[in-house]
Structure 1
Amino acid sequence: MTDADVDALHDKYVKARQILGEPAEPDSYGKLLRTIHAQAPRIMEQYKAKAVDFSIVVKDNQVIVRAKPKP
């Protein structure tokens, strides 16, 4: 995942929180980056994937980072 991809994902995260009326957390960019770096290798190993796509979704009034393995 490139820096531009992470920036775009973070922008979507912040916008989703704003839609729900929640402020962006301090260091939300760093937390998102740590989540990606921690989860991607695990998901790739578990699903024998070559990469992982991350997206932002709103579920039950919560902003969630969703990971999808790419075969």
Structure 2
Amino acid sequence: MRLYQDEVYQKGEKFIRIVRLDRYEVEFKTMIGGPKEEGEVTILVKKEFCRLLKGMTLVPPVKKTATEK
């Protein structure tokens, strides 16, 4: 599985956003209600993080227009 920083995954009301990627571990934020909410930051080994993502779907990124900043 290929992971990228700032990806957001969703399952029901639970959202997970990747904050920092390392070679062996992933720092992520878990939010409930929406991808822009406050949440708890956690660090897991990549293998455990991929198991956590099982059953979740990737939320497509919103493209910004030239007028948005």
TM-score by length of 2: 0.25
Give the strand-richer structure, 1 or 2: 2
TM-score by length of 1: 0.25
